[in-house]
Structure 1
Amino acid sequence: MSQDIQAASDSLVIDGRKRTYTVVAGPAPRAALLVFHGSRQNGVVHRRFTGGSFDALARTHDAAVVYLDGYAGNWNDARRESRFKARRENVDDVAFTRAVVGQLASSHGVDTGRVFAVGYSNGGQMVMRLAHETPQLLAGAAVIAATMPTPEHFLLDGATPAAVPMLLIHGTKDRIVPYEGGELAWWARALFKVGGSNLSMPQTAAYFAAANGLDVAPTTAVVASDGATTVERLEYRAGGRPPVVLYTVIGGGHTIPGPKAAPFIVGRTSTAVDTATLLTQHFLDGAVGEASAESAVSSRPAS
């Protein structure tokens, strides 16, 4: 596998706007992981936010890890009440994403049939939009700290999401995007310029399971604990259908589980599982089973 890993910035023009992104890759990546940051971030900031933990996939799995930059710190997601600049100017982030994939195929030789997306918060909302609006683009999608809008608050109500493997991760102590759904707190609506009601995270998992034709009851299991957080896995799986897997981080905040702790203000970051490892197992290594899921457990740091 590739050892000569480099990071390089690139750009393209969409609707007269220069759009930018950073690619971390070896000389011949076979797959692409598109990373969509949260509100008020960009790709470089989000790379630091995760401690560069996703970069390892470029070395271990010959993936191009691509940190895309939103417009003025946001993605034009499909929440009807979003009112940040990307929404007010109706920035075409779907076209931007398509163009990045096309450019990766040309510049890096990426297999366009092996394009996966992971989004955090507003970026997670963008990934859900892509799942509905670009059914042939993604081979898998991961959503962290974001939940589906209820139908009356979803711009694409009536659209059918792509039947692709879905990985969902959410903390029960998320004060920004409540795990239980409903409206965000007044201060979060004001700070992030969003609104509307949302499904709970378990309801979000059920929504995508239905879209994937998974007419089965989910299985549940406790998979890891670091002493401060416990991770439960809820899994919809049936032969021949793309699975939907939800990792509930009991005690976790508006954070990305892994080695890099987020600022305390957004809540506790779990070290019980590593998000980069989960992405590897669910997407780059294929469907995850019981044994491989357990190997996502991180060793608890010494106190």
Structure 2
Amino acid sequence: MYLLKIGCISLAVLLVIIAALYSYYVYTPIPKTPPLSATIRTSKIKVGELERSFLSYVPAKAPDHPALVIMLHGSGLDGKRFREWTGYSFDQLADKHGFLVAYPDGYKGNWNDCRINAPFEAKQLNIDDMGFLHTLIAYYERQYNIDPAKVFVFGYSNGGQMAFRLAMETPEKVAAIAAVCASLPDAATCSCTMQGATPPVLLINGTADKIIPYKGGEVTLFFKKVGIGISAPATAKHFADRNNAVEQQPETTSGTISQRTWIKEGHAFVKLISISGGGHTVPQQTFRFPRLLGMTSTAYDSPSEACHFFGLDK
């Protein structure tokens, strides 16, 4: 009886410890939906034999020929969760600046990006994500008369890698991309073309990212090897070099935020934002990512800065 009592107490203590660890490292409260001019819409389109789903945010007062921002989530997420994890910021910015937002869902939580060794079914089954995103753009052209020259992509992690693929393989489809917590795979493990012009690129990387190492190296996702990535600075230089963009001197630093900029034809063409101590998170002021993924910086607001880079706040 005594041993049973001790065992029950030990189990209770263990459960309390597990709950505390989960609460600290994994749990994060989802922010309340802010006041918006419109409601989110759920839609599906057929791509080959697959039915693909996505969310749309269309402001009540969208202009004629509006721009479109496509939000590509990271591994294990979907469009709904990514909308929450970016604090509904893009919906609010859409209300303010008059653009549309699409939140597509990857195949079983992932995208078929450029990494040959990615363990995701989307990659292993060679899911036609390029076809999906091209069809998605065409859908918005038909339904909402968007300006096809103003299609922008904001991607996080695996979604950032997918944004790279769009920029490198079909640069005519997107006007600019922003990739957060993403770096290019090395040439030996990259399935995408490594030559040719691309649209402008904004890179946002944390120096303490444990999944996509800032300095390059083995990329892992909860102990699964995803391949070898080059460093964040090397990724920026790759895009600058293939577009003949020239680095602006000197590098600027403000607190924990460092910025390097490469100029082409008088405009910022490639930007690398380095978050000192930042984890595998989207820097912002509305949502804290699970602490398991590292520090979420509030010193840099990725949604508004991406909109500025895209020229949507003019």
TM-score bucket of the superposed structures, by smaller chain: 0.7 to 0.9
1:53 has 2:89 as partner: yes
The 3-state SS of whatever aligns with 1:126 is: helix
Aligned position for 1:246 = 272
Dislocated runs of 4+, deviation >4 Å = none
Aligned position for 1:85 = 121
| Letter aligned with residue 19 of structure 1 | R
Aligned position for 1:182 = 217
| Farther-moved stretch of structure 1 (194-203 vs 151-160) | 151-160
> Is the 2:247–2:260 contact (alpha carbons within 8 Å) kept by the matching residues of 1?
no
1:209 has 2:240 as partner: yes
Aligned position for 2:133 = 97
1:165 has 2:209 as partner: no
- 1:105 to 1:157, Cα distance in 2 relative to 1, 3 A: closer
Task: Write the deviation string for residues 209-246 of structure 1: whole angstroms up to 9, x where unpaired.
Answer: 112211445531113x4xxxx11111111435661001
| Letter aligned with residue 199 of structure 1 | I
1:232 has 2:258 as partner: yes
Find the structure with the greater CA-based Rg.
2
The 3-state SS of whatever aligns with 2:123 is: helix
Whole-angstrom CA distance in 2 between matches of 1:13 and 1:4: 29
The 3-state SS of whatever aligns with 1:175 is: coil
Q: CA deviation at 1:184?
A: 2.1
1:153 has 2:189 as partner: yes
The 3-state SS of whatever aligns with 1:244 is: strand
Q: CA deviation at 1:52?
A: 1.1
Picking from 257, 261, 279, the partner of 2:283 is 257
Aligned position for 1:197 = 228
Q: CA deviation at 1:80?
A: 0.7
Task: Write the deviation string for residues 133-164 of structure 1: whole angstroms up to 9, x where unpaired.
Answer: 111001001010010011111002444351x2
Aligned position for 1:290 = none
Whole-angstrom CA distance in 2 between matches of 1:143 and 1:256: 10
Instruction: Name structure 2 gaps, 5 residues minimum.
Output: 1-35
Whole-angstrom CA distance in 1 between matches of 2:300 and 2:268: 22
Picking from 252, 274, 288, the partner of 1:221 is 252
Picking from 16, 26, 35, the partner of 2:71 is 35
TM-score where L is the length of structure 2: 0.83
Instruction: Name structure 1 gaps, 5 residues minimum.
Output: 288-303
> Is the 2:195–2:242 contact (alpha carbons within 8 Å) kept by the matching residues of 1?
no
Picking from 178, 196, 208, the partner of 1:142 is 178
Whole-angstrom CA distance in 1 between matches of 2:67 and 2:296: 28
Q: CA deviation at 1:6?
A: 2.6
Whole-angstrom CA distance in 2 between matches of 1:144 and 1:8: 25
Q: CA deviation at 1:189?
A: 4.9
Whole-angstrom CA distance in 2 between matches of 1:218 and 1:198: 26
Aligned length: 275
> Is the 1:21–1:69 contact (alpha carbons within 8 Å) kept by the matching residues of 2?
yes
1:8 has 2:41 as partner: yes
> Is the 1:12–1:18 contact (alpha carbons within 8 Å) kept by the matching residues of 2?
yes
Whole-angstrom CA distance in 1 between matches of 2:135 and 2:282: 27
The 3-state SS of whatever aligns with 1:119 is: strand
The 3-state SS of whatever aligns with 2:160 is: helix
Aligned position for 1:278 = 305
- 1:48 to 1:175, Cα distance in 2 relative to 1, 3 A: same
Aligned position for 1:300 = none
Q: CA deviation at 1:5?
A: 2.6
- 1:79 to 1:218, Cα distance in 2 relative to 1, 3 A: farther
Aligned position for 1:76 = 112
User: Aligned-residue CA RMSD in angstroms?
Assistant: 1.8
